[in-house]
Amino acid sequence: MQRQSLSTLKNVSAQDRKMIQDIEAMLGPEPSEMGFVKNLFWGRFREDLVFPYPAESRAERAACDALLADLEAYLRDEHPVILIDQEQYIPDWCIRRLFEMGVMGMTVPKEYGGLGLGVTSYNRVLELIGRYCGSTAVMVSAHQSIGCKAIMLFGTEEQKARFLPKVAREYLSAFCLSEPNVGSDAAGQETRCVWSEEEQCYILNGEKKWITSGALAGLFTVMARQQMPDGKEKITALICTPDMEGVEVFQKNRSKTGIRGTWQARIRFTNVRVPKENLLHKEGKGLNVALTCLNYGRCTLSAGVGGAAKRAMDQSIKWVQTRYQFGRPLADFELVQQKIARMAAYTYAMDAMLYLMTGMLDRGDQDIMVETAITKVFCSEYGWKVIDDAMQLMGGEGYMTENEFERLWRDNRIHRIVEGSNEVMQSFIFAYGGKQLAEQMLAVQQAVAWDEEATPAENLLRIVRNGLNPTVLQQAIPLGAQLFLGIKPARPVIRRVHPLLTGYAERLSRLVQYHSHYVKLVSKWEREDIVTHQAQQARVADNAIRLFALSASLAKMDRQLREGAHGPAFERDRAALAHLFD
């Protein structure tokens, strides 16, 4: 039985119906294979997507290890972290040094002058930078994850040959999506482009805001609204450069609470002539370009926060072991121990989620948009919690500007806002994660439910006809048993886990069963109201976030056990896993 679009829901406002239609158009057709988290909504646990936990090849890991060694020596001995924060800029010599080391082009293919490293290696580098300097981590991420990523993913061979060598070795790139009136609503672009047959170019007009490195970049990826031949308006992606006539960076930066070394520009485009060869992907496919790039940006954001959180945890552990009060080290006090245990659990889960996610990207999984959103929400929320707890353990010393905690604290607050605010991400996780299940439920309902707008004869004919359809019965009977008789779906069986972890696997299986059952019950209770009831959406999303965190952590521990991990660090990881499942 074919799923029904949610835009066919009755008793929803015209505004909400249009919003659903716009979102469906923006997301495009569903990938051919349903991703891991979407399967959780159905009550299924796709073991093959998380077991075995992904790992880099030996050659890739060795290349990344060599880069990390050089980079850490530079960050530790030369990088002016305090100056960057106080003077609110990253010196040119620092940016040049990062280009020389290959950091700024590490994901650019070797044939275009980059290092050709994978997503996992790239995020390992961002994690290291995040341990030292939040501003630098954001600059590097904005350049490679979103600034020039669109050219790597969607560019023509001519575009790649023209631009990638320069962004790998010479200049920064910037991603121009946000506008004065456009933040979370990416589809609401007011910047416009019009194709001129006479001049054979796009004429671009509009203004962009919050453009990281916009005043420093040599290349812009710009999103603009364009009217299609059928009269509909869609978003198109264009490549622009600052030397084009009509491009004006009229505000280089604004002073911020954190990540002070980064610059966020405002850029005005006035009758900018953009040649046809600078069209990225296809006309009207700009949001697909933007959302795909944001998958990578949400990973590197998580990596930077993860590095900062690990740094905060390590430093706070040293502090509580050497700081004495009431004749005892702080580490002896139970509430301090509780905070440290919580830090270890959160950082373990953050690490597990991030590198499961990057492994999925490296192997080419298509349906990962929900997973990247979940990783971003978890890492930004709990990474901030780790840093805030570290600040609490440091007491007054942590609040002083000469200590790094205060800077870590400021630098990492922004991540709950950018790359999609966490509240918007919760609604997205609910809507896109459960979309296919909701469409299937709607199809069943429309097949057998009484329609007030139809005549009794029409209703009876449709219900009898569908009631005799084996496909409808196969789906309607178990769904009805769950919704009206309270019979829960069968628990998924998790078989691939290490024998020492079977207890955790059984608990996770029960949680997946509960999650799927709860989603269906909420859909029954709320009906059309679920479209606007964000509190219910957030509750379902939080369940999905927890399930992905537990699944990733279980898969990571499974690999550690199979590889024979041992020692104090491993025992801490085992305790962290127990804390997560507690």
Average pLDDT, integer, range 50-64: 96
Write the burial class of residue 13 (CB in 10 Å: 0-12 exposed, 13-18 middle, 19+ buried).
Answer: exposed
- 408 CB contacts (<8 Å, ≥6 apart)? 134, 308, 311, 312, 387, 390
Task: Identify which of 240, 245, 204, 250 has the alpha carbon closest to the alpha carbon of residue 220.
Answer: 240
Q: Are 357 and 372 in contact (CB under 8 A)?
A: yes
Residue 373 pLDDT greater than 90, yes or no: yes
- Chain center to CA of 64: 23
DSSP state of 203: E
**3-class secondary-structure state, position 235:** strand
Strand-strand pairing, 219-227 and 233-240: antiparallel
Q: How confident is the model at residue 434 (pLDDT cuts 50, 70, 90)?
A: confident
548 pLDDT higher than 60: yes
Place of tokens 């716009």: 22
Residue with structure tokens 């002896």?
Answer: 332
Cis peptide before 109 (omega within 30 of 0): no
Find out whether 259 and 212 touch, Cβ atoms under 8 Å: no
149 closest CA partner among 48, 57, 219, 230: 219
* Mean pLDDT for the chain overall: 89
Question: pLDDT class for 449, splitting at 50, 70, 90?
Answer: low
CA distances from 254 to 88, 92, 258, 261, 308 (A): 10, 19, 11, 11, 24
- Helix (H) / strand (E) containing 118: none
Q: Summarize the confidence of residues 254-259 as an average pLDDT.
A: 95
Under CATH, what is the fold of the domain 173-286? Butyryl-CoA Dehydrogenase, subunit A; domain 2 (2.40.110)
- The residue type found at 246 is G
Higher per-residue pLDDT: 77 or 437: 77
What is the set of active-site residues? Answer: 419
What average pLDDT does the segment 535-540 reach? 88
482 has pLDDT over 90: no
Range ranked top by mean pLDDT from 162-166, 484-488, 515-519: 162-166
pLDDT reading at 443 higher than 90: no
pLDDT tens-digit map of 18-36: 655 565 555 555 666 889 9
Task: Dig out the tokens for 80 from the structure.
Answer: 């002016």
Contacts 24+ apart (CB under 8 A), 176-181: 176/208, 176/211, 176/214, 176/220, 176/221, 176/222, 176/223, 176/240, 176/267, 177/208, 177/223, 177/290, 178/208, 178/209, 178/210, 178/211, 179/206, 179/207, 179/208, 179/209, 180/207, 180/209
- What tokens does 520 get? 């269906």
Q: Determine the average pLDDT of the residues in 50-59.
A: 96
Q: CA 571 from chain center: how many Å?
A: 30
Segment 346-373 mean pLDDT: 96
Report yes or no: 194 and 226 within 8 Å, Cβ to Cβ: yes
Name the token pair of 291. 């959302």
Q: What is the pLDDT of residues 259-290, one digit of tens each?
A: 999 999 999 999 999 999 999 999 999 999 99
Mean pLDDT of 325-344: 96
Its pTM stands at: 0.90
Amino acid at 517: H
How many Cα atoms are found within 13 Å in the side-chain-facing hemisphere of 359?
20
- For residue 190, how far is the Cα from the chain centroid? 25
What residue ranges do the domains of the chain occupy?
24-51+425-581, 58-168, 173-286
Phi and psi (nearest 5°) for 101? -75, -15
What is the C-alpha separation between 235 and 242, in angstroms, rounded? Answer: 21
Q: In the structure, what pLDDT confidence band is assigned to residue 1 with cuts at 50, 70 and 90?
A: very low
Task: Write the CB contacts of 529 (distance below 8 Å, at least 6 apart in sequence).
Answer: none
- Per the CB < 8 A criterion, the answer to whether 249 and 267 are in contact is yes
Average pLDDT over every residue of 112-132:
97
Q: What class has domain 58-168? A: mainly alpha
The string of DSSP codes covering 344-408 is HHHHHHHHHHHHHHHHHHHTT-S--HHHHHHHHHHHHHHHHHHHHHHHHHHTHHHHSTTSHHHHH
Residue 200 to residue 219: CA distance in whole angstroms: 21
Cα separation, 348 vs 364, whole angstroms: 24
